[in-house]
Amino acid sequence: MKYPAWPRGKKLVHLDLKGAPPTSKYLHQLIELFSQLGVDGLLVEYEDMFPYEGELKLLQATAQPAYSHKEILSMQEFAKSKGMEVIPLIQTFGHMEFVLKHRPMWGLREAPNCVCTLNPHTEDALKLVMGMLKQVVDLHPGLNTLHIGADEVYMLGEGEQSKVELASPGCTVQQLFLGHVTKVAKAIKEAWPDMNIIMWDDMMRGMCQDTLKASGLVGLVQPMLWDYTPDLDVDKTVALLEKYYSAGMTELWAASSFKGSTCVYTCVTHTQRHVENHLQWLKVAATLSAAINLKGIAITGWQRYDHLSVLCELMPVALPSLAACLQTLFHGEFSAEAQSKAAEKLGISSVEVEAMERRSADDPLFPGRKLTELIVELDALLNCEDIRSFENNMYVRGWLSPFQRQRRMVSPLITMQIHSQATTYLTTLQQKTDMLREEMVQFYPESTAQEWIEEHITPVMAPLQQITEDIIACVKEMVP
């Protein structure tokens, strides 16, 4: 079904830098491509890749250097030259893992075992948040919009100070949430009166209209309603947006996804899933009351589900999905024309990465194309049933059981056949891994390549390697 093209408003692409931070050179290549794809701005989630200074220096990443002041300014200048706005996203309540994991910050946790949520009751919490924000704002000249996060504030109310507050008549967890966010928003407005403030909406979804009106947030923040699913509930989403609008929050945003929202360890982006999400958002926009004018949509591309989870799809393998999602918004449908234009802009034959081929020798390769191909090949190999279930195949279970390995009583003939097959798989995987590492370090730090390999390849290779070592040890006991 065809819907009206996405209504007026900015189309932002989310850069999640809390994992696999692109090199400065690759960041510029991405911005150039985003500009060609019709992107209006960047929603940049720095986390530990921001060059915090002073008491906050401990927040910087240790696996690789944070971006330098010069690199961040250069990124902004290049984006501006392409007509793109840069909006920093700084978490101020939930998803504070990159802050609260550090021992000196443990006392600011809502609960001792909750590394993600800030304790909203201490003056030091607001001081920390404003200290982070000031450094970010200072390094973004002319900035007029901030995103303060505030999503998924888990275990709020479980801390001792929260429990004392909740014992007061009429106090609720909703009020704890609203109290902290309002305090942060007012502090921002006091420091930078003209600053626009965006926040994620999920913690407000269960709140009634009267609670929102009385919160003090009306006129201070712009809710960004996120839903990344291909079967997004249109009626429920429309009702939420209209509730916020009726409560006086008249400046609203949407947030979709082009990668990083399928499964926590997904390596290959499946374009159609994300296109479906955007088709549902088009339906939402077409169903909304005429009075509600969305300020824009943030097309998110998560690199980790949170600071402490594994890397999911890297940016190159998701670029076909991004191009397809943008063309879907431009056309109001994922028509043959939309598919063709998305593929054409990347110089490929299909926006499904498993099927993409270069259109012609004259077409430019999108940045990271070869890395994308290697990831797709490796992912197929890593998920091959013969490799995944090698330990459970008939020969390994029948002639190389834990009992037999422990007692060094095996059939040399059969186990050496097992060894040969395992070695073949290991050799192929290692060759592909070496090629992938060589390509990946052209776009990402060496630490990212190492992490990706250890998270996605090593767990598959390790059992095969153990089998080969066990066989050699056993056969030595059986053959003169």
**Residues taking part in catalysis:** 152
d(CA 21, CA 32): 17
- Burial class of residue 260 (count of CB atoms within 10 Å of its CB; 0-12, 13-18, 19+): buried
Q: Which residue has the tokens 């037999």?
A: 404
d(CA 216, CA 187): 13
d(CA 142, CA 138): 9
Nearest C-alpha neighbor of 314 from the set 226, 436, 195, 475: 436
Token output for 171? 């106090």
Question: In this structure, is the dihedral angle defined by the CA atoms of residues 405, 406, 407 and 408, taken in order, positive or negative?
Answer: positive
The residues pairing with 13 across neighbouring beta strands, listed in sequence order, are 42, 299
CA 431 from chain centre, in angstroms, equals 29
Nearest C-alpha neighbor of 206 from the set 254, 248, 243: 243
Token output for 130? 């404003």
Token output for 69? 């002041």
| Cα R_g (the chain), whole angstroms | 25
